[in-house]
Amino acid sequence: MTPFPPAEPRPPRPLLTEPRPLGPLLAELRSARGWSQQRVAAELCAASGVPTLTRHEVSRWERHRRLPGDFWSGWLAVVLGVPGELLAAAAAHSRRLGVVPAVVDRAGSRSRVALLTLAHRWAADPSGASLGGPLTGHALAAPGGAPQLAEHGAETRATDRLPLDGRRTGHALAAPGRAAPGGAACELLAGRAAETAALAELRHWDDLLGGADLAGHGTRRLRRAARGFAVAGPAGRRRLLPVLAESAQLAGWLAADAGDLAGGLDAYRLALRAAVAVADRGLAGHVLGSASHLLAGIGDPPGALTLARIGYAGCRDAASPGLRALLLHRVALAAALAGRTRAARQALAAAERTGGPGPGREPPWLYWLDEAELAAMTGRTLVALGRPGPAVPLLTPVARGRGGPRRAAVYGGWLARAHLQLGDVAGACAVAGEALLDAVRSGSPRAVGQLTEVRRRLAAHRDEPAARRYAGLLAGARPYLPRGAAGRPVAAGSHRPPSKPGHGGTTRPAGTG
């Protein structure tokens, strides 16, 4: 990859002296030259010698869907004829604003702000006293209202909005045709071990199936735990808190994988409250790391970086080696996507120093993390940093591995992008074609999103035979690809898992939350 040359210092125009967000600034500089976004992309490709940038990426920069990294920021300064310091200051201003991406709707924006606010409160007061007062059902309700837990593909019911308020009666929380939750609380208290085992089973099913199939199961399990908690006494609540926290974290992960942004963030908010209330700092950090992963995936690296850093800082003294490594990788990816190259490299180096998962020292919900997964996470961040060479050998074993179709599809998308950055269009299309089959097998809208991004980046090579073949393959597979909350809702639960996973504990991990 050609390094960008230092831009010659030039006096900025008077209208650009005030700090401004980067997106509007880039649009104004482009318009002043009378250029289209296509022209800017072409100039950047010609100047840098990297032919993979398209007008869609320029559009994302201007609309604040993404910030350019150091590499493209340097070339933007050269092509647009402005000092590099001007663009760096504008990018820093954009990060301070914490701009919400255009893909975040109103409900998702509210959920994002509520979770960020709660995370900052936890960072300021790790005891959790500022998260809602005494430990009651009401205290676990999120600021401004309880989390939305609507089932995917099902009609809204009276229990879709869980107040978790101890003052509500059992009849007020009972669903039509079901027993009052007082019995549910007793049943949960009596069978806490069985409930924990059921959660573990659902996590193992997440190795094989995507959120489109499992999100409804996660939501129903969280409703069950929340109803039992809301009507239990103080002693019962203390015993049920771990189940509630883990149920909410898993429900958030599954909702996020199904493309339900607001549902995932709301469940994570509940999970954070419950984890802090039970004094499980490791799980609280993992919840924020999972939420960071969600925001990074929908194009909100500033929010993702904030959550990942708070999660790591809040639990690093109590976290296992594997959890510390995982959270540092969350920080690294968010920093890379935000254009914070130095911060991303520092986080990667720190993750490497942790040494990876410690045998017998990891929490049960982190069973899926192994050295191969951590290596692939490093490769993914290197791709985001524009360093595809060392990323390819790290991503290839996981992208072409067997046993975890979603994991193979997600990392296969990143591997295809690495090949594209290297100028290997045929190799990128071959990898993306394999990942497409895994996306069909997994039923994960998140995996489909990765391949959609690859298809977008292939637009600059639409005339090449390999790109045309991949476009045809994607068009043919589209009826079989899952669509979650971002598209037409998928009826979760339409594919009900059997009573036991077919592969039990031998299933290879697929990046479970």
Give residue-wise pLDDT tens across range 484-505: 543 333 333 333 333 333 333 3
pLDDT tens for 216-265 read 999 999 998 888 888 888 888 888 899 999 999 999 999 999 888 899 99
Q: And the tokens for 423?
A: 């100028």
104, pLDDT greater than 70: no
Model confidence at 512, pLDDT cuts 50, 70, 90, reads very low
Q: Which residues contact 137 (CB under 8 A, 6 or more apart)?
A: 163, 164, 165, 166, 168, 229, 230, 237
Q: Is 365 a residue whose pLDDT tops 80?
A: yes
Cα 101 from chain centroid (whole Å): 14
More confident residue, 129 or 319: 319
CB atoms within 10 A of CB 269: 27
Domains within the chain, CATH numbers bracketed: 14-97 (1.10.260.40), 370-483 (1.25.40)
Question: Crossing angle for the helix pair 371-384 and 321-337, nearest 10 degrees?
Answer: 20
pLDDT tens digits, one per residue of 374-433: 999 999 999 999 999 999 999 999 998 766 888 999 999 999 999 999 999 999 999 999
Neighbours of 89 (CB within 10 A): 17
Model confidence, pTM: 0.69
Query: In whole angstroms, how far apart are CA 292 and each of 18, 261, 288, 306, 512?
Result: 31, 12, 6, 8, 15
